[in-house]
Amino acid sequence: MASTPTDRPDFQSSNAQSSTSYQRHGRTTATNDHSELQVLRRIKRYLLPKDFAISPALLDEIVAGYDIGDPLADALAAEHIRFSKPLQHTILSDSPNSDLATNPSFSALTEQFRSHPGWFDPKLAQIGAVAYRRYPLMLIWLLRNVALMAGYSIPALSLPLIQTGALMHDALPRLMRTYAYILAVSEHPSSDMSTRNHNKPIDQVLAIGSEGWRQSIKVRQIHTLVRQNLLKGKGNAATSVIPHVDQHRNPDGSWNTDYWGVPINQTDMIATHLQFSLLIMRGLRLLGARISTEEAEGILHLWNLASYWMGVDLDRLPKDEAASWEWLYTYLSIQQLGFKMGQPLAKALHDLPRQLMGEDNRRGRFVELVNASVTRTLVGDDIGDGLDLPKSKIRFGVLSSVPILFALDTARQHNTTVAHKLEAFRAKRQDNMNWWLKKNDDYYK
C-alpha cells in the first residue's frame, strides 16, 4: 500500500530534489500555485496535521502514475480482444475460454476476478456499504454537485469526458449510469435490489457475480477502449466545444501524452476513487450524517476493492483516511486548473432539472439553485465562479439539513423503532430516485 505521511521525507527540508523536477507534464503546476484555492485551504486547515508538508516521494508517485494506464487490459486491447463477456462467462460457468485460455493477460484478469483478494474484509465492507447507502438524497446530491463538479475544474479529468461526449451530450444517461455504478458497488445483503429483480440475493458486498462485480468488469473494458481511442486521436466530440490549442493535441491530432499523460491513467483513477469514496463521505458528514470511524474505514475499504477491480494498482492506493487526504491535497496542488474546459460539462449537468421539468418550471429552477448551492458551499465559491454556476441568496439553506440529519441519525442509533421507520423511508426514497434506471436498465426494472 502507499506509504503514510510519517515515513515520507519533508518536502521543505529535502535538498535532494529540485522544486520543479516533478513538473514533467504540461498539466503539472508548482505546488504553491493554488494554495489559496478554498478547497485546499479547508483540507489543510481541518483535515491534515498542523506540521503537514508535501512529500517529494508522493509527488513522484503521483506524477509517475500519469504515464501508466491499465497494463493487463491494455495488452488485450492491443490484440483487439474485448474481454468483458468472455471473462464473466469463464468465471461464472467455470469453463475456460478456448480462444483465450493461453493468453497471459486474460489469465491474469481471470485470477483477479475469480475470488476476493486476501486483504478484503467483507464484514468491514458491508459496514461501509450500509452507511454509504443510508442517505439516498444526499448521495445523489454529493455525486453530482461535489464529486463530479469538483472534477470539472481539472482539465486532465474533463478532457477525456469532453472528447468522448460523455456527460455533455447525454448528461442524464451518463449521470444515472454513474449513479447505478455506485449503487451496485454499495449493494449489500440486506438491500432489496437483487430480490426485487428475481436474482439470487447476494451473500456479501461485491460478491463474485454480483452487479457491482459485473459492472466493474464492463466499465474497465469501456475505460480501456476509450483510452486506446483517445491515444489514436479518435475522440473528436470536443472539436466544436474546446479550441485545439487548449486540448494540446499532437500535430497529427492524437492525444498528447507529454502534456496530459496517458488518458484514464493510474493517478487520475485514484482521484476518481477518492471522489466517490472520500469526498462523498466528507460531504455526508458536513451535511449532518453521523458516520463512525469504522464506517468511514468500511467505505474506503469497499471502494478499494472496486478500484482494484477497475485496474488500479493496489500499492498506489492510500491506505487510510489520513493518507487519503494527504494524497488528494498533493494531487490538487499540482493540477493545471482550467475552468473553460469544465464549463460545458458543468452546464450540461446543471441544466438537467429544467430539461426534465421544462424551461419555465419554477421547481426546476429551484432545484438548479439548490444544486449549485451545494457545490459552492461544500467545494468553494472560486470553483463555483470558475464553472459559471449561479449564486443564490439562500445558498446556505442547504446547511439546514445538518441539525435535521444529525438528530435523525442520533435517534436511529438509540431507538430501534425509529431506525426501522427511517430504513423504510430510505428504501422508498431510493426506489423513487431510481426512476430512470427502472425505465432503462434491466437490472433495476
What is the residue whose three cell numbers read 459559471? 388
Give me the pLDDT at residue 1, please: 45
Give me the pLDDT at residue 363, please: 84
Over range 423-427, report the average pLDDT.
89
What's the mean per-residue pLDDT of the chain? 89
Give me the pLDDT at residue 5, please: 42
Helices (H), 198-312: 211-231, 244-247, 257-260, 266-274, 280-286, 293-309
Per-residue pLDDT tens over the stretch 266-293: 999 999 999 999 999 999 999 999 999 9
Per-residue pLDDT tens over the stretch 57-84: 999 999 999 999 999 999 999 999 999 9
Cell output for 68: 501508466
Q: Helix axis angle, 266-274 relative to 293-309, nearest 10°?
A: 150
Q: At residue 109, what is the residue type?
A: L
Per-residue pLDDT tens over the stretch 177-196: 999 999 999 999 987 664 55
Q: Which position has the higher pLDDT, 397 or 24?
A: 24
**pTM of the predicted model over 0.85:** yes
The Cα-based distances of 61 to 90, 111, 225, 290 in angstroms read 35, 27, 25, 34
- Local confidence band at 444 (pLDDT 50, 70, 90 cut-offs): confident
CB 126 within 8 A of CB 189: yes
- Please report, to the nearest 10 degrees, the dihedral formed by the alpha carbons of residues 306, 308, 311, 315 taken in order: 150
